[in-house]
Structure 1
Amino acid sequence: MKTIATFGLFILVASMVLGGATSNVYAQDDSTILLKLAKRAQNQVQNQISSESPDKIKRLFEEGVQNVNSLEKAIRNNDVDSAKKHFLTAMKIFTQISRQSTESDVPTKESTSEVAAKTASDSARSTVKDPSNDIQRLQVYVNSLKTIAKKYNVSIDFSELDELFRLSKQQIKDNQFTLALDTLQKIKEIIVEINKEIRDEASKQESQRAKEYAQKYLEQLDRLIENAKNQGVSDEIIKKLENARENLSSANNPNDIIKEIREILSIKKQFELTKNDRLESRVLQVEKTMSRLSQMDGVDQDDLANAKDTLQSIKRHLYDGEFDTANELLRDLAKQLQEIKNSL
């Protein structure tokens, strides 16, 4: 049975039940966090129980489940006192099941070796160092995760972590360093899960941004290819550009997109086709500005529509190789966008 992996959670909760800090913890508790902890304990204990488990353990588990259900009902009814009672009862039962499951793997009759082991455990507990510094470092790290999650607009519930941090500080205050270390381990496990969630979401967003940039770059490349044809550039160079365009359009991940764009830049530099790059960069910057303005309140939509028409005209002039005209229109458009900003 998988009792070792879950025993840390029951030690954590036992500290709330037996450690003399119950009232202090509950003063800050959010009942929904208690329900999360109770249900997590229920699921972990359920994984330990099999058809071969003693009937006594099965009955205890059912009693624990009933208390979890009563806890949930009490929370819905805003009955804080009953919620506390059912939470503590459920966790006592789950802790008891975990301990009994552990003891079922060895003879239950207390022996000299068991007494010696208990003595050694007590001795080790008294030498455990204060984990305050580790807790503080993790708190700083979690604060940075909250900032990153906000940056990428990732919806993550940090309330369970916040509750565990409060519990660990209470345990340290009560000199329960061993229990604080168990809480610390639980905090680390949750941080790993949150870290992965943020990385996955950030990766998705970066991939999407890379694809959007590639699409805009393809528009630039179409204009470059047309200009190259109008300037009488050799068919060999045109073919290289067209192949590069095909490769870029089929690229999916950010690394491949960057690789293909670098290849295109190399071709442009090699065959002196960078004449209009500065103008194309300004076009991209103008598009970003217009995108931001379109999301802001108070912007005159007619003014924005006129700016978009001007931008399309600039792109047509670049497509036709009329760089001077495009440059003049870009200057006018920049002034137009500045006036829109100033009007907000």
Structure 2
Amino acid sequence: MNGLLLAALLACALGMPLAAAEDGHGTILRIAEKAHGEIAAQLDGMGQVPPEMQELFERGTVELGSLREAAAAGDPEAAERHFHAAMDAFRRISYAAPAPEAGDPEADLDGSLERAAKYVDRLRRIAAAHGEEIDFGRLDGLVELAGRQIGEGDHEAARGSLAEINRLAADVKSRLDKDSQSRSSDRAVKFAQKHLDRLDAMIDDAEELGYPPEMIGMLRDARGVLEGSSDTREIIETINWLLSVRDQIEETRAEMISDRLDVLEERAGAIPADHPLAAEALAAAGAARLALDAGELAEAQSALRELATMLDSLEG
């Protein structure tokens, strides 16, 4: 690890402000990117990375992305905050990682290059599968360059190329992740739109069943979320809540239909057996009961209305 990077890690450990001491955001961004590449190469050389180290590395990668955004926005306080968070994660990995075992350095580099090349190919397949237009030319060139450097015995240069491959690959992964989140958000919005009509029917049912105004208001608020939100988590949580409310409304509605049907069945049973419409009334009551038992509430309610109309005409 070079002197500048070691000093940066030490400064991070001591909580020293770097943004003011260095020449602006560019320097701390370069330091963090260099650390990211070296830590990535270090983890890559381990073969199997412990979960806690992988989690630290992912956290550092996220903070590095936030550092880039803060630097681009000219926000020194945010840049320094994300820099220290990223470097803290990298420092903890560096301290926890075991020292490399002595062995053939060229063989180690060959293995690292092979894993890096496979990872680049995997990113390429993911990008192609989702129609992402990403230029892998720089990465492919670095993979080829690292191979030549290893073959020529220039191990230090090869390690630098591998670190750059890891850094660029992390950038590609970050972009693919963001695009994936965007696609997920689009799917959530479309999913929400499909529920709007159902929600309108739920509100009508809740009002008809005499639900309190507070619940009606909550349902209308939920409709506003589905209509205007693009937050995947918020949409999913809202829909899950609506599904639970829908079950309650359906249960209440089924109970009311059942109670109403009990009354109408008694009225139908009271019709004289020799009446021309007696059998028809009983059949209508039976159809309503079958629909209710099957959970077909709309059909049961429709049959119930027909039965009520028939009985009213008979008794009138």
TM, length-normalised to structure 2: 0.43
TM, length-normalised to structure 1: 0.40
- The structure with higher relative contact order (CA 8 Å, sep 6+) is 1
